């Protein structure tokens, strides 16, 4: 509030009167249009490394499942506002996945744990410290017998060293690990094949033929961002002489499978026959046995004819025997050192996590465990249901759950200590190739949280640990002196920590490994993590809840995914309820029909149905962990039956609304490599475009600066990183399930899945002859001289005629006061972008705030904007560099080169809107032998 009526006759400024009225109305329960008047509030002591209004960048790492992806965090006035990838980090190369982007919202989440609790009642930290002090005396007496630590997968050298130190003090200490998204089979497969846990690191830029078996290569494997970049390099024949060929064999469509040239749906019981056939053909040069699918011979022959350049990858849900066999096949194809390398595992202590957790639960039940420290994670929710983790946890005398929010595990533990958010903690972690990244804290803990390193230090007697000095000391030898330490922080990677390929020899047992064939009487249920919530850890993150899943475009829900044939047999339609029974346990949930799923397979995506989480995640979805047993973590025999009832599901898939002619408009153009090589112009439109426009004269164009974008459909894998990046950069609100069901989602950028196999990002085309601009009665959407279709929010009166006229349907309207109702502090938003009120239209602006910043900087330095200096948020986040943005008047700009590609076409170009965003159509490298199954 401004000062009260000044005593010497200064006037009431008009805005002041309105603000007083607004404040009064707000007190009366009605909020006015005008917010609080803002006073000018400088600091008391100036921050020496910060200029108000100028962003700063700090390196850190996003760590999922233990593996690090380097990020850059942008600060404004001392607070983090945006995450970008770190170009110098090998697992990022400048890109991010959806989790790194969503970290920001988690930092500002008001539902985070605010303080310690004892048996779910809030207490002060000193209470915990006193109790812990006494406990440590007990531990000293028993030498740590009964002391256990449970973590997720750990790659952090410092954390592992701390656990080792703790074990030296308490020799009875045992370290258990558990990740719900299990990579046990990968580890076991390497164990079978090489005798120890090794990491297969593909070099996809050198792979000519790739066979992906239920693979997560492009979606969630450690290093998937780097793999995606290398993969995309060989997928556009206009830019590479040697386009790769990709086969995918899988039960459920994955991103890798959708990016493949040939995709074969194979259910888990039929998979062993495929592998046996591959073994026969590649290892022993024998003909494919009967019972294998007809396309297998062609695939095997293709792999064999590309020795050294062939690569086979199996996903983490395949059994260990499959992994071992794949190792043998890859060695036989001589790809080692060429299309892939074997590196030592980045994990600090790889082990069988299922066995480790089972061991821990046995100990808890028998009373052998009296002190348990759970560092992060939520095992009470994610542990296999037959173990009974939660009940066993309640038996432990002194259990501490370090968790970011009050969750199922912290409810059952004795103590809950808030975990510091990754932005609040100093730490380190390894990437897939072993490179170490230092995680820098971006802020002091907002709610007094402690990091995992600090918790271990506390248990070791350092009751007031400082995460920074601990980390500095841990790296003192390797990074001696200030210079090397600062260099590591500035680049985001500790130099020289990447692992070198190992020389381990393949064991003979690997060639004989074969998964067991298990036929199920009913269906096979596949347990997979939800692509955005993973094991449920992000259930309270609204951005990830509302992000349309790549395959189904579903939001806020996780129905069972069933194939069309099975749905027909059971009489199921989308949204009908069904009951899935696994080993006597039953969950009732709606279904969603997914063409492309293998026969008799049902996919249950876990991570939803949280019993105890914040207000965002509460009540969302169904908990399939109730069906997941320890010997059926990946798939299991099950029974599916229809039950009465329906459930409303929200999906942003609108292709059902297209008419027949619209479907034929070929929005996402495709062709084959053979056709392209015969005629490079194969994707161009046959007829002439309509010559009529809505304008008398074209808008004035600047001669030297014109913004344009080219999107490569060969590169887009549908990972959704661009959508979250756009949401973070442009303060796009979350609207909730009900509004999405009414088609009111606010994402400026959407990714359409065309024909179930082609991803196509669609954003405002910034048409040169824009249909939206002519119909705005108040001139709120105008064309600027550089080609941008700009939105002037303050003029918009909400007629929505512009959205009506847009043929691409990329405009979004604030039907409700979405931004005002978001549970998000104002500080968490990007200050460079207006926060839109109710009744205002919005759409992609080509990140006009970034354009302005780049232009101002260039003008101050009296130089033109360099190509590549300015990247839109979507372009920056994309792992495969599908987006290219720049000045199309510059013939040397990357965007001009891409637009010159013969594959370039304009979506709905025949309408003569002259969009500035063009696409490069998809080319599939089809084999003449193999036909899609």
Partner 1 sequence: MIMAGVGWWWGGARTDFETGVGWTLDQPVPFSHEHHVAGLGIDCRFCHSGVEHSADAGIPPTYTCMTCHSQVWTNAAILEPVRASFAQNKPIRWNRVVDLPDYVYFNHSIHISKGVGCASCHGEVDRLPLMAKQKPFTMQFCLDCHRDPGPTLRPRSAVFDLHWKRESTTPSAQQMLDFYHIGGRKLTDCTICHR
**Where would I find the beta strands (DSSP E) of 77-178?**
79-85, 117-118, 121-122, 147-151, 174-177
Cβ at position 605, least distance to partner 1 in Å: 38
Size of the site for partner 1 (CB under 8 A): 50
The nearest distance, CB 44 to partner 1, in angstroms, is 5
Footprint on residues 891-920 left by partner 1 (CB under 8 A) = none
Phi, psi of 332 (to 5 degrees): -65, -35
Of residues 564 through 623, those in contact with partner 1 by CB under 8 A are none
In the complex with partner 1, the residue whose CB is nearer, 286 or 859, is 859
Q: Is the C-alpha dihedral spanning 823, 826, 831, 833 positive or negative?
A: positive
DSSP SS3 for 854: helix
Binding to partner 1, residues 469-528 (CB under 8 A):
none
401 versus 845: smaller Cβ distance to partner 1: 845
Judged by CB under 8 A, the stretch of 380-388, 497-505, 850-858, 865-873 that binds partner 1 is 850-858
Given the rule CB under 8 A, which of 67-75, 120-128, 676-684, 844-852 is the region that contacts partner 1? 844-852
| Nearer to partner 1 among residue 484 and residue 831 (C-beta) | 831
Residue 586, exposed/middle/buried by CB under 10 A (0-12, 13-18, 19+)?
A: middle
Buried b / exposed e over 327-358, threshold 16 CB at 10 Å, is bbbbbbbebbebbbbbbbbbbbbbebbbebbb
Which member of 662, 856, 868, 869 binds partner 1 (CB under 8 A)?
856
Question: What residues pair up with 201 in beta bridges, in sequence order?
Answer: 341
Q: Which of 156, 452, 710, 834 binds partner 1 (CB under 8 A)?
A: 834
Contact between 848 and partner 1 per CB under 8 A: yes
4/496 with CB nearer partner 1: 4
Nearer to partner 1, 634 or 843 (CB): 843
Q: How far apart are CA 393 and CA 412, in angstroms?
A: 6
Distance CA 92, CA 114 (A): 32
Among the candidate windows 353-361, 418-426, 702-710, 895-903, which touches partner 1 by CB under 8 A?
A: 702-710
Q: How far is the CB of 912 from partner 1 (least distance, A)?
A: 24
822 is written with which tokens? 């978001």
Does 673 interact with partner 1 (rule: CB under 8 A)? no
C-alpha dist (Å) from residue 398 to 168, 174, 434, 660: 21, 15, 35, 65
Spatial separation of the C-alpha atoms in residues 484 and 154, rounded to whole Å: 25
The contact mask relative to partner 1 for 4-23 (x = CB under 8 A, - = no) is --x-x-xx-xxx--------
Cβ at position 733, least distance to partner 1 in Å: 16
Closest to 530 in 3D by CA, of 611, 633, 604? 604
What is the sign, positive or negative, of the torsion defined by CA atoms of 395, 398, 403, 407?
positive
Stretch that binds partner 1, among 56-64, 430-438, 601-609, 848-856 (CB under 8 A): 848-856
Closest by CA position to 513, among listed 331, 391, 766: 331
How many CA within 13 A on the CB side of residue 366?
Answer: 8
Can you tell me which of 141, 285, 660, 704 binds partner 1, judged by CB under 8 A? 704
Nearer to partner 1, 14 or 121 (CB): 14
Q: Are the CB atoms for 633 and 385 separated by under 8 Å?
A: no
Radius of gyration of the chain (CA): 28
Q: How far is the CB of 773 from partner 1 (least distance, A)?
A: 11
* DSSP letter string, 185-230: HHHHHHHHHHSS-EEEEE-GGG-SEEEEES--TTTTSTTHHHHHHH
Q: Which is nearer to partner 1, 413 or 776 (CB)?
A: 776
Helix pair 467-474, 157-169: axis angle to 10 deg:
90
Extract the tokens encoding 850.
């970034």
Instruction: Name the H helices within 688-782.
Output: 721-729, 737-741
Q: For partner 1, which is the closer residue by CB, 331 or 773?
A: 773
Residue 18 vs 123, nearer CB to partner 1:
18
Q: Identify the residue among 643, 778, 852, 900 touching partner 1 (CB under 8 A).
A: 852
Provide, rounded to whole angstroms, the least separation between the CB of residue 34 and partner 1: 10
Question: Is 815 a residue that touches partner 1 (CB under 8 A)?
Answer: no
Which of the residues 37 through 66 are near partner 1 (CB under 8 A)? 37-46, 51-54
* Least CB distance to partner 1 at residue 864 (A): 10
The DSSP H or E segment spanning 895 is: helix 894-899
Nearer CB in complex with partner 1: 210/802: 802
Task: Report, in Å, the least distance between residue 492 CB and partner 1.
Answer: 25
Rounded least distance, CB 87 to partner 1, Å: 25
Which stretch, 504-512, 596-604, 757-765, 831-839, contacts partner 1 (CB under 8 A)? 831-839
8 A C-beta contact, residue 77 and residue 829 = no
- Residues in 743-782 at the binding interface with partner 1, rule: CB under 8 A: 782
Near partner 1 in 775-794, by CB under 8 A: 782, 784-786, 788, 790-794
Can you tell me the distance from the alpha carbon of 87 to that of 71, in angstroms, rounded to the nearest whole number? 8
Rounded to a whole number of angstroms, the minimum distance from the CB of residue 20 to partner 1 is: 14
Token output for 762? 């669609």
Which residue of 88, 581, 849, 933 would you call a contact of partner 1, by CB under 8 A?
849
In the range 273-292, which residues lie near partner 1 by CB under 8 A? none
Render 303-320 in DSSP notation, one character per residue.
Answer: HHTTTTSEEEEE-TTS-H
Q: How far is the CB of 782 from partner 1 (least distance, A)?
A: 5
> Which residues contact partner 1 (rule: CB under 8 A)?
2-3, 6, 8, 10-11, 13-15, 35, 37-46, 51-54, 700, 702, 704-705, 782, 784-786, 788, 790-794, 832-834, 845, 848-849, 852, 855-856, 859-860, 862
């Amino acid at each position: 509030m401004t000062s009260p009526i000044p005593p010497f006759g200064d006037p009431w400024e008009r805005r002041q009167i309105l603000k007083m009225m607004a404040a009064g109305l707000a007190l009366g329960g009605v909020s006015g249009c005008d917010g609080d008047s803002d006073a000018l509030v400088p600091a008391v002591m100036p921050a020496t490394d910060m200029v108000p209004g100028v962003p700063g960048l700090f390196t850190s790492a996003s760590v999922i499942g233990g593996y690090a992806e380097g990020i850059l965090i942008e600060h404004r006035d001392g607070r983090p506002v945006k995450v970008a990838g770190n170009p110098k980090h090998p697992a990022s190369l400048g890109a991010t996945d959806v989790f790194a982007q969503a970290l920001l919202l988690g930092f500002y989440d008001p539902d985070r744990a605010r303080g310690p609790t004892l048996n779910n009642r809030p207490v002060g930290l000193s209470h915990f410290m006193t109790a812990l002090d006494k406990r440590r005396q007990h531990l000293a007496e028993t030498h740590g017998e009964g002391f256990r630590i449970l973590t997720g997968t750990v790659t952090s050298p410092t954390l592992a060293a701390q656990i080792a130190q703790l074990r030296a003090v308490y020799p009875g200490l045992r370290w258990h690990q558990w990740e719900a998204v299990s990579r046990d089979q990968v580890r076991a497969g390497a164990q079978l094949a090489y005798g120890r846990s090794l990491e297969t690191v593909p070099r996809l830029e050198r792979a000519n033929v790739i066979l992906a078996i239920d693979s997560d290569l492009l979606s969630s494997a450690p290093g998937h961002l780097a793999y995606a970049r290398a993969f995309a390099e060989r997928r556009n024949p206009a830019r590479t002489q040697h386009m790769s060929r990709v086969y995918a064999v899988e039960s459920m469509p994955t991103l890798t499978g959708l990016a493949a040239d040939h995709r074969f749906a194979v259910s888990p019981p039929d998979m062993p026959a495929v592998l046996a056939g591959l073994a026969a053909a590649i290892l022993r040069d024998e003909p494919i046995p009967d019972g294998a699918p007809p396309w297998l011979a062609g695939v095997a022959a293709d792999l064999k004819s590309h020795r050294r350049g062939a690569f086979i990858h199996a996903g983490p849900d395949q059994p260990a025997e499959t992994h071992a066999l794949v190792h043998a096949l890859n060695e036989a194809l001589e790809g080692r050192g060429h299309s892939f390398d074997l590196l030592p595992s980045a994990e600090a202590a790889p082990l069988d996590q299922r066995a480790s957790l089972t061991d821990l639960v046995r100990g808890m039940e028998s009373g052998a465990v009296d002190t348990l420290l759970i560092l992060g994670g939520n095992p009470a929710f994610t542990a296999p249901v037959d173990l009974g983790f939660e009940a066993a946890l309640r038996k432990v005398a002194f259990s501490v759950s370090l968790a970011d929010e009050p969750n199922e595990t912290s409810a059952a533990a004795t103590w809950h200590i808030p975990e510091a958010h990754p932005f609040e903690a100093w730490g380190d972690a390894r990437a897939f190739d072993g490179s170490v990244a230092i995680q820098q804290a971006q802020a002091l803990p907002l709610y007094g949280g402690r990091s995992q390193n600090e918790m271990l230090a506390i248990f070791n007697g350092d009751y007031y640990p400082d995460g920074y000095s601990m980390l500095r000391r841990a790296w003192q030898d390797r990074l001696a002196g200030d210079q090397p330490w600062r260099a590591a922080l500035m680049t985001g990677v500790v130099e020289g920590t990447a692992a070198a390929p190992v020389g381990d020899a393949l064991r003979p047992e690997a060639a004989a490994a074969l998964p067991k064939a298990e036929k199920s009487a009913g269906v096979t249920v596949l347990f997979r993590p939800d692509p955005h919530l993973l094991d449920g850890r992000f259930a309270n993150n609204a951005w990830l809840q509302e992000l349309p899943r790549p395959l189904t475009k579903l939001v806020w829900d996780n129905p069972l995914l069933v194939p069309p044939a099975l749905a027909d047999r059971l009489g199921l339609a989308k949204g009908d309820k069904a009951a899935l029974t696994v080993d006597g346990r039953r969950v009732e949930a709606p279904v969603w029909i997914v063409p492309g799923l293998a026969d008799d397979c049902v996919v249950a995506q876990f991570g939803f149905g949280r019993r105890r989480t914040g207000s965002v995640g509460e009540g969302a979805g169904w908990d399939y962990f109730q069906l997941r047993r320890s010997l059926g973590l990946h798939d299991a025999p099950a029974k599916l039956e229809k039950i009465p009832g329906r459930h409303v599901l929200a999906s942003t898939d609108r292709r059902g609304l297209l008419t027949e002619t619209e479907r034929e408009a070929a929005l996402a153009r495709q062709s084959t490599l053979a056709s392209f090589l015969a005629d490079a112009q194969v994707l161009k439109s046959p007829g002439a475009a309509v010559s009529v426009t809505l304008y008398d004269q074209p808008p004035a164009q600047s001669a030297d600066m014109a913004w344009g974008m080219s999107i490569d459909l060969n590169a887009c894998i549908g990972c959704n990183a661009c959508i979250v990046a756009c949401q973070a950069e442009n303060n796009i609100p979350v609207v909730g399930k009900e509004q999405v069901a009414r088609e009111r989602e606010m994402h400026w950028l959407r990714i359409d899945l065309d024909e179930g196999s082609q991803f196509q990002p669609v954003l405002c085309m910034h048409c040169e002859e824009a249909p939206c601009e002519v119909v705005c009665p108040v001139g709120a959407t105008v064309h600027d001289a550089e080609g941008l279709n700009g939105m002037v929010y303050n003029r918009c009166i909400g007629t929505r005629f512009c959205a009506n006229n847009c043929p691409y349907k990329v405009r979004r309207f604030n039907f409700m006061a979405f931004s005002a109702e978001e549970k998000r502090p104002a500080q968490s938003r990007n200050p460079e972008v207006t926060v839109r009120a109710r009744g205002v239209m919005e759409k992609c602006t080509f990140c006009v705030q970034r354009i302005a910043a780049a232009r101002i900087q260039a003008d101050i330095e009296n130089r033109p904007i360099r190509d590549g200096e300015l990247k839109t948020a979507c372009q920056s986040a994309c792992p495969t560099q599908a987006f290219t943005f720049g000045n199309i008047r510059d013939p040397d700009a990357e965007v001009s080169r891409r637009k010159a590609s013969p594959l370039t076409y304009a979506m709905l170009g025949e309408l003569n809107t002259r969009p500035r965003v063009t696409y490069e159509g998809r080319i599939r490298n089809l084999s003449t032998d193999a036909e899609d199954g």
